[in-house]
Amino acid sequence: MRLPGSPLARLRAERTRWAERGDAVQCPVCGGRFARFLPYGGREGAICPGCGCAERHRLLWLWLTEEDRLHGRMLAFGPDDATEQRLRARPGLDYLSADIDGTQAMVAADVTRLPFDDGSFDCVLCSHVLEHVGDEQGALRELRRVLAPGGWAAIMVPVDRSVRETIEDPSVTKPEQRLARYGHDDHVRLYGADVATRLGADDVVDPLTRFGAERERRHGLRRADRFGPDEVYLCRA
């Protein structure tokens, strides 16, 4: 979620923050307290009125901070503005963000052909990227390759748990076909209940199991649509 850039958009965002002030929910990213998280994309309780982060960003940030994982050399794909600002400023964290063309991050990098040496990073964040990547297994090999011994990758993808096995079909190429088959016009597969095995995850961070029902509700960690709840898939080097 990109934060508003123009002065008028920033003014509107500030008005929204003021209008939504309260203490029913609290964003773990910006620390703001509000009457609610805002609706987005047809789902309720999605977006923080303060920093613009969504459910998956709040889950990932809460896990990273509570497990003291924000140190060392970190590579992040698919960063959002709210967490990127905080990761860049984090003491003790050597942070680098990347995307395919470099316009939304610090450097341009193709996740299937990373321009980094073996073992360059202690940790990697890859959030809602692999569903756009044709060579998924090539990307996973690259993520593991750039991890130093003992390192880890935190991967997040949208998952429809009503689907038993991940669906992908190379013949589905048109946006309208992808929308009908995968739920998004720019996705190349629909992840199903086999996602943890497919990604080679060593651990799964589920918001309810890890943080409990009250904190899940207060921090708005559960996505309220067919792709919820978000989970973090932890893959170790």
- As a whole number of angstroms, the distance between CA 131 and CA 190 comes to 7
Q: Give a yes or no: residue 47 inside a domain.
A: yes
pLDDT of residue 199: 97
Is 2 a member of any domain? no
Q: Using 50, 70 and 90 to split pLDDT, how confident is the model at 7?
A: low
- Between strands 43-47 and 107-108, the pairing is unpaired
pLDDT at 10: 61
> Phi then psi for 135, rounded to 5 degrees?
-90, 75
**Domain assignment of residue 35, yes or no:** yes
Q: Identify the domain containing residue 63 by its residue range.
A: 7-236
Choice between 177 and 12, residue whose per-residue pLDDT is larger: 177
Q: Is the predicted pLDDT of residue 88 greater than 90, yes or no? A: yes
Domain membership of residue 230 (yes or no) is yes
In whole angstroms, what is the distance from residue 110 CA to residue 196 CA?
23
**Number of folded domains that form the chain:** 1
5 — pLDDT class (breaks 50, 70, 90): low
Contact 227, 196 (CB under 8 A): no
> Model confidence over 113-151: pLDDT tens digits?
999 999 999 999 999 999 999 999 999 999 999 999 999
Q: What percent of the chain has pLDDT over 70?
A: 95
Contact 208, 217 (CB under 8 A): no
Asked if residue 174 is part of any domain, the answer here is yes
Give 11's pLDDT tier (boundaries 50, 70, 90).
Answer: low
CATH number at residue 156: 3.40.50.150
What pLDDT is recorded for position 36? 96
The pLDDT assigned to 14 comes to: 73
The predicted pLDDT at position 101 comes to 86
| Residue 112 tokens, joined | 């299937």
How far apart, in whole angstroms, are the C-alpha atoms of residue 53 and residue 30?
9
Is the N-terminal amide bond of 7 cis, ω within 30° of 0? no
Let me know: does 32 contact 17? Beta carbons within 8 Å: yes
pLDDT: is 20 or 228 the higher one?
228
Average pLDDT over every residue of 188-210: 96
